[in-house]
Structure 1
Amino acid sequence: MTVEAVSLRQKNPVQEEDVEEELGEIKLYKIRWVIIGIFVLYAAVSAVQWVQYSIITNIIVRYYGVTPVAVDWTSMISMITYPPLLLPGSYMIDRIGLRSCALIGVVGTAVGTWIKMFSVQPHLFMLGFAGQTVVFVSQIFILSLPPKVASVWFGPNEVSTACSLGVFGTQLGTALSFILPPLIVRNHDNIDDIGKDLSYLFYGVGAVITPVVILVFIFFKSEPPLPPSIAQAKLRLNRSEFSNKEFLNSYKSLLTNMPFMVLSFAYGMNIGVFAAVCTLLNQFILTYFPNSEKDAGTIGLLLVVIGMLGVVVFGVILDKTKKFKEVAIALEVAIALYVMTTIGLIAFMIALETYSKVLVYISACVLGFFQNAYYAVGIEFGVELSFPQPESTSSGLLLAVMQICGVIYTLLLGECLSRFGAFWALSLMVIFLGIGTLITIFIPNILLRQEALGLTAEKNAFLPKNKNRRH
């Protein structure tokens, strides 16, 4: 295996020897980029199925003869299955490691995808729903892994970027989930023609997931032979045998960690609103622009693609400036993104009222950029606030709160849309975002990762500055 060796040898050889003697050798392996690349594919193939039905709600309603609410549930099932499976899923991640969980998750995703391939008959909606359920039960081994993969495989100056890339996979799949169904499945007069289009859609995803299973089996590893950073070296040095008591204590620690819990509620409200709006996007767009299924898909695509740009931009900025470990800076970033997300949703709501597709597209870009950036920044902020608890546990709790909020908001949004119209339904979501902004402001200041690790200024000086140095 080819490696990039990162030397700790700096200007003070005496202190450097103490660090190496205590923690051992630190290396960055080139295969880490293969690992994160596979994870991106893995996450994308799962996420591409999120709004696969709901972005073409009107067509699915015609083909299967079901209600719009039933179609909404094909998206909400991803949110409803996650919270109750969080504890057993996190237990397995900590118990059997990254590789085994990745294999279980990708095989489960493949099985659910294959089930849907056999559901293309007007009377087989529930079979497709069962496949969708299997896919999103398997997602428990995807959503909470980016910070875990990043910290286990990447150096201290790369963690934010790697975490952002992991989130990028989910966002990429979500983007394709918006655009592919409207492009492939047309609202034909003939029901049989709709069935043929649905077959193309489901078989296409099935053709992609199979090689991804093989890639995960061959290349995906739990951890590198040597740690990539002082932080991981310390954790390995102090690592003990897994125990049920320690696992439950980690959750107890998080649930009693006030700053983390405050962030959890704020995070859940923000991303929950995004999930609800995306689930009902087809219905919102068709309310103002009839027969515009393709526009709904394109607007959803922009929400996520521009959002992916925001994820990467903020990930790189936080790595380059090395400011994320400062509480004040972290809070300022989170609050700023929350405020801009709220403004973006207000702009989207007003743009719909103008019946101008151009303004709707522009406002969707603004909303997507800041809301998706908050998605990634919020996860990493949660990891910092909860250190030294496992990354998969802290991010899992954040996502569980988000999923619960997503289900509640989707049901509220759908009810308000049918009773009072799109404007007032979206106004309710703006109110929730405003409350979330206020909650974020009151996140208490605590010592973050570097202080929790007990790293002194002298030892921090040994953090690798040139990843191309070799022993």
Structure 2
Amino acid sequence: MDGAITFEETDRDQNASNQKEGFHVYRMRWFILTTLGILNISNALQWLSFAPVAYTTAGFYQTDLDTVNMLSVVYMITAIPCGFIATWLLDTFGLRGSIVMAAWLNFLGSAIRIVSAIDGISDDARIPLVFFGTVLAALAQPFMLFAPTKLAALWFPDDQRATANMLATMCNPLGIMLAYILSPLLAPGEEKMLFMLAIESIPGILAVLMATFGICSNRPPTPPSASAETASEPFLTGLKKLVKNPSYWLLAWAIGGGIALFSTLTTLLPQMLCPWGYDDNFTGVVCVSSLIGAGLVGAAIAGLVVDKTKRYMEVTKVCFAVASLTLIAFSIVHNRPDMWVGIAITCGLFGFFGLPVYPVGNELSVETTYPCGEATSSGMLFIFGQLQSIVLVISLSAIGSDIPEDKLVNSKCNTNSKYKVEVKDLAISTYVLTGYAILVMLVFVLVFRTKYRRLEAEKEHFEPIDLNSPTSKEPLVDDV
């Protein structure tokens, strides 16, 4: 399908400032970025729509908290085998087909989850239906999370790559924030579960229309940078090189650990806080909004900094270190009543420094492994993260202890459901999560080193061109 699209006029301002003769940027890149962003928002809504209302969900589907948590864990489990397939498809067949496939899987998954909540569906069928729909949506997640690095590399110039990657990637936590805000508001009781699922499916409908009818090419006719002009290595060749790259293994464990910390915290946060008097609205509207809202600001700043300075490694290490330290403060205050401000501040600080680790870490992985395919290097980071997420969510849920009813003076966990759901104390789990964060951070900060291979290759490819020189050619501006 390459070249089938009628592209809009190239970005004249960017091309005028681009001194790399023969390279172009197209405004279509912003439409593709917007489509991928909406898709990431929608998929994150599907992923964690039940976590903010875990006890309500358990009552509606007449099950326990472990089963509700599995609706999040299934994303992590599915991502491992599907992650390899998504990586191969992105690097072998290109961006368009992968995004369209992800959009349809996400849409179908959300539709089946709606069916699971319709009146008249038997109680025995509800759980299988909601899990089937969740699995379909989960199959889409690797495609849309691996695509930002590929999109940035193929469509954006070198001084916009980190920012583009950040914008697309941060739409995933933005979707999580919306889930934590919307779910408690849309489903304050079990009778509103169908309404919640229907409203939260709307971004998926928009994304599937934009992807199917708006994206018609894998790459632009003319590359935006020297590295985009060079074809990525085949998937298996790149994978073999990753296996032999010790720096990448350490990076994958560390950045994957950061992904796991975020996924585990956002999955279990309501269960960590509700026994001590913090309801779903405080957890979602205040805590998660602080975490992700501050994280979006931090990621925007980090993206601009690395685009200008190219200090991927230093920015990643500083952010990881400070984010890990904020978890210590959170673990101290989270199970104390009336610590509203302290909990909100620690969540905000964790987000501000923690969320930039993923998009900047993705760019760092490309620099560490170039010329391996961008989807291969960033995809393996995500798979490592999901492996750690599975272990953390399941193990931390398991070590939670039941709280006797006479000690649940401040609890905000129970619903009005006739179905009994036991309340758990996850304080020990929180301490274990914090300890793991400190371990990963120390090893990463003290040990990890790498060369910026992509930047070195681009420097060797050309010498700066003086546009004021009478012998130089101004970059072309085409309508294609």
User: Which TM-score tier does this pair reach, normalised by the shorter chain?
Assistant: 0.7 to 0.9
DSSP-derived class of the 1:49 partner? helix
Report what 1:385 is aligned to: 368
DSSP-derived class of the 1:27 partner? coil
Q: Which of 339, 343, 352 lines up with 2:321 in the alignment?
A: 339
In structure 2, C-alpha distance between the alignment counterparts of 1:438 and 1:150, rounded to whole Å: 30
Residues 41 and 203, structure 2, Cα contact 8 Å, conserved in 1:
no
In structure 2, C-alpha distance between the alignment counterparts of 1:462 and 1:351, rounded to whole Å: 58
Q: Which AA in structure 2 matches 1:3?
A: T
Shift of 1:470: 6.5
In structure 2, C-alpha distance between the alignment counterparts of 1:439 and 1:461, rounded to whole Å: 42
Residues 4 and 469, structure 1, Cα contact 8 Å, conserved in 2:
no
Residues 271 and 371, structure 1, Cα contact 8 Å, conserved in 2:
no
In structure 2, C-alpha distance between the alignment counterparts of 1:199 and 1:444, rounded to whole Å: 50
Shift of 1:422: 3.0
Shift of 1:94: 2.1
Report what 2:441 is aligned to: 437
In structure 2, C-alpha distance between the alignment counterparts of 1:422 and 1:431, rounded to whole Å: 14
Report what 1:256 is aligned to: 244
Shift of 1:145: 0.7
DSSP-derived class of the 2:25 partner? strand
DSSP-derived class of the 2:328 partner? helix
Q: Deviations for 1:206-250, whole angstroms, at most 9, x for unmatched residues? A: 3332232111122223111111112212x05xx7xx8xxx32111
Q: Which of 57, 66, 72 lines up with 2:63 in the alignment?
A: 66
Q: Deviations for 1:121-179, whole angstroms, at most 9, x for unmatched residues? A: 54412211110111011112111111110111111111011000111221211111111
Q: Superposed, which structure 2 residues align to 1:259-274 within 5 Å?
A: 259-274=247-262
Change (3 A) 1:454 1:158: closer
Do residues 101 (structure 1) and 87 (structure 2) align?
no
In structure 1, C-alpha distance between the alignment counterparts of 2:259 and 2:142, rounded to whole Å: 17
Q: Which AA in structure 2 matches 1:439?
A: V
Q: Which of 169, 182, 185 lines up with 2:184 in the alignment?
A: 182
Q: Which of 306, 318, 328 lines up with 1:318 in the alignment?
A: 306
Report what 1:352 is aligned to: 334
In structure 2, C-alpha distance between the alignment counterparts of 1:426 and 1:404, rounded to whole Å: 19
Report what 2:265 is aligned to: 277
Report what 2:194 is aligned to: 199
Residues 272 and 335, structure 2, Cα contact 8 Å, conserved in 1:
no
In structure 2, C-alpha distance between the alignment counterparts of 1:376 and 1:338, rounded to whole Å: 12
Do residues 400 (structure 1) and 383 (structure 2) align?
yes
Q: Superposed, which structure 2 residues align to 1:3-402 within 5 Å?
A: 3-5=10-12, 6=15, 20=21, 25-120=22-117, 121=121, 122-123=123-124, 124-187=126-189, 194-195=190-191, 197-220=192-215, 221-233=217-229, 235-236=230-231, 246-289=234-277, 292-298=279-285, 299-319=287-307, 321-324=308-311, 330-355=312-337, 356-402=339-385
TM-score normalised by the chain length of structure 1? 0.87
Change (3 A) 1:9 1:155: closer
In structure 2, C-alpha distance between the alignment counterparts of 1:211 and 1:450, rounded to whole Å: 37
Report what 1:327 is aligned to: none
Which moved further from structure 2: 304-313 or 154-163? 304-313
Q: Deviations for 1:24-55, whole angstroms, at most 9, x for unmatched residues? A: x2111111111111111111111111111122
Shift of 1:86: 1.9
Residues 56 and 182, structure 1, Cα contact 8 Å, conserved in 2:
yes
In structure 2, C-alpha distance between the alignment counterparts of 1:376 and 1:26, rounded to whole Å: 25
Q: Which AA in structure 1 matches 2:150?
A: K
Residues 314 and 373, structure 1, Cα contact 8 Å, conserved in 2:
yes
In structure 2, C-alpha distance between the alignment counterparts of 1:100 and 1:297, rounded to whole Å: 35
In structure 2, C-alpha distance between the alignment counterparts of 1:447 and 1:303, rounded to whole Å: 31
Shift of 1:469: 7.6
In structure 2, C-alpha distance between the alignment counterparts of 1:95 and 1:348, rounded to whole Å: 43
Residues 24 and 475, structure 2, Cα contact 8 Å, conserved in 1:
no
Residues 116 and 202, structure 1, Cα contact 8 Å, conserved in 2:
yes
DSSP-derived class of the 2:334 partner? helix
Q: Which AA in structure 1 matches 2:281?
A: K
Which moved further from structure 2: 416-425 or 281-290? 416-425
Change (3 A) 1:462 1:282: farther
In structure 1, C-alpha distance between the alignment counterparts of 2:55 and 2:269, rounded to whole Å: 12
Shift of 1:332: 2.4
Instruction: Please give the root-mean-square deviation of Cα atoms over the aligned residues, in Å.
Output: 2.2
In structure 1, C-alpha distance between the alignment counterparts of 2:314 and 2:431, rounded to whole Å: 25
Residues 47 and 173, structure 1, Cα contact 8 Å, conserved in 2:
yes
Structure 1 regions of 5+ residues with no counterpart? Answer: 11-18, 188-193, 325-329
Do residues 448 (structure 1) and 453 (structure 2) align?
yes
Residues 69 and 267, structure 2, Cα contact 8 Å, conserved in 1:
yes
Q: Superposed, which structure 2 residues align to 1:459-470 within 5 Å?
A: 459-460=463-464
Change (3 A) 1:388 1:354: same
Change (3 A) 1:279 1:9: closer
Change (3 A) 1:278 1:462: farther
Shift of 1:284: 0.8
In structure 1, C-alpha distance between the alignment counterparts of 2:239 and 2:25, rounded to whole Å: 31
Do residues 425 (structure 1) and 429 (structure 2) align?
yes
Shift of 1:257: 0.9
In structure 1, C-alpha distance between the alignment counterparts of 2:201 and 2:313, rounded to whole Å: 42
Shift of 1:7: 5.5
Report what 2:406 is aligned to: none
Shift of 1:452: 3.6
Q: Which structure is higher in helix share?
A: 1
Q: Which AA in structure 2 matches 1:280?
A: L
Which moved further from structure 2: 305-314 or 204-213? 204-213
Which moved further from structure 2: 404-413 or 89-98? 89-98
Which moved further from structure 2: 116-125 or 45-54? 116-125
